Amino acid sequence: MAERFPDKAAVIMGGTGRVVTFKELDEASNRLAQVLHEAGLRPGEHIAFMLENRWEFFAVAWAAQRSGLYYTAISTRLTADEAGYIVENCEAKAFIASAAVSAIAQEITTGNEKLVLKLALDEAVPGFDSYEDAVAAAPAVPLEQQYEGADMLYSSGTTGRPKGIKPALALSPWGTLPTVSVMVQLLFAPDETSVYLSPAPLYHAAPLRYTMAFHRFGSTVVVMEKFDPEQALALVQEHGVTHSQWVPTMFIRMLKLPKEVRDSYDVSSIKFAVHAAAPCPVPVKQQMIEWFGPVLHEYYAGTEGNCFIYTDSPTWLAHPGTVGRPVLGEVHVLNEEGDELPAGETGLLYFGQGPEFEYHGDPDKTASSRDPKGRGWTTLGDIGYVDAEGFVYLTDRQSHMIISGGVNIYPQEAENLLAVHPKVADVAVFGVPDPEMGEQVKAVVQPTSPEDAGEELAAELIAYCRDNLAHYKCPRSVDFREELPRHPTGKLLKRVLRDEYAAKA
């Protein structure tokens, strides 16, 4: 794209307005590719990096991608222990970090003899070479031989250590479209006129893969340093955003802006508002379609890449609550014994006819994702069902299931219901220890107005649930917090809350 559109904006940073052209990005990635090659890295080897949302994130990712390397983007919110485990586990030979995480960068790389190159951006970090000096000294020309690399990303570690998802590396010639780019092209039709808004951290699978896919088609990518609901709307209007990708929490926060604020921004340029990563409450999606128009597109997939389920707005309106039908992979619903269930019955979702994957260095985790009866199917650990027409509906995560008095309860229903209550800004529903029932259903709520927190609102929310759901699915108690633990991608960290209540018990 640098040859076709050298002066076109490849990246625009939402907060600072910094513009990076395709020529600048191409040269920056070429320079770093030369640095990596000079350090001895060869196709099939590995780099890791720990950067906040900034334009250089793409320089690093594209340098690895065009060098035939595996690359692991690491969350800047991880502890030294968590990040250090990933750097060791992925067997990185190069590590790149910004000064913002310098203390962690030093701690996790000291004594790591596998690392042949350590680069730091912005300012000097002991033990690291200057990123800026290294790339400035390198030629801005492509390597003599360029191959397509691949990301190797890590699960967020719902239980235990995060797991690295290592795809097969075909070392295809540079310019060969990876599967995700082909999927993006078929479903969302990006081109050089497209403007893609990315409001989430780039180290997450979907933002990383989709922004890079849009770059391949000459699209401009607008990156938010951090999500803010009103700023997101302002950027849509300012840059004429045509494509965007969200998580349901972002929808909820935008919808809870005052109506006069929402109505003051023009969002009519949006042709595709893509969302994924978590189930979207039906009323939330209905309101978003009323506001944005029938431009919402939903998919269900995982970093593992073993499936892709998709629906557009008209189809979803005819089947409210569905995440769609398979575009990649076939769906099987299994019970606890591994037997396939008929349409309409809820069980663990497995997928066949999709790409192979493994959890790097964890054969037990890899084996646990496989069909127990050896039919070659794989699971992401989600519970759901398929209707008679083949539409997939998610119920919850297997790891979130509550067992109360021998009854299996999936808290997503209550969570979705409470999320749209006008007095609720954020909510988590999960199981806590109960001496009689084993577990009981608990809701932890961030109220819209902190002064509302108390017994009266707790009683109101429980009654609201009981008016709309079977009583056994409803919280028996409600606690209040100023803020709930969420990953920057919007993912609710229930494990943190569950662990806290378990420790108290």
d(CA 227, CA 201): 9
222 CB-contact burial (10 Å; exposed 0-12 / middle 13-18 / buried 19+): buried
Give the Å distances, CA to CA, from 376 to 111, 359, 433. 41, 16, 36
Does residue 159 register a pLDDT over 60? no
Structural contact between residues 54 and 13, judged by C-beta atoms closer than 8 angstroms: yes
pLDDT at 158: 43
Residues 6+ apart with CB under 8 A from 377: 332, 350, 351, 352, 370, 371
Residue 208's closest CA among 249, 162, 151?
A: 151
Instruction: Please write the tens of the pLDDT for every residue from 313-335.
Output: 999 999 999 999 999 889 999 99
Q: Which two tokens stand for residue 161?
A: 């250590």
C-alpha span between 119 and 94 (Å, rounded):
8
- Contacts (Cβ under 8 Å, ≥6 apart) of 156: 162, 487, 491
Reference 304, options 250, 362, 346, 372; nearest CA is 362
Per-residue pLDDT reduced to its tens digit, 161-202:
778 998 888 899 999 999 899 999 999 999 999 999 999 999
Nearest Cα residue to 280 out of 245, 236, 247, 239: 247
Q: What are the structural domains, with CATH classification, of the chain?
A: 22-174 (3.40.50.980), 177-303 (3.40.50.980), 329-399 (2.30.38.10), 401-504 (3.30.300.30)
Report the distance separating Cα 282 and Cα 24, nearest Å. 43
Q: What is the pLDDT of residues 461-501, one digit of tens each?
A: 999 999 988 788 899 999 999 999 886 666 777 878 888 88
Average of pLDDT values for 425-444? Answer: 87
| Mean pLDDT for the chain overall | 91
Rounded Cα distance between 391 and 475, Å, is: 29
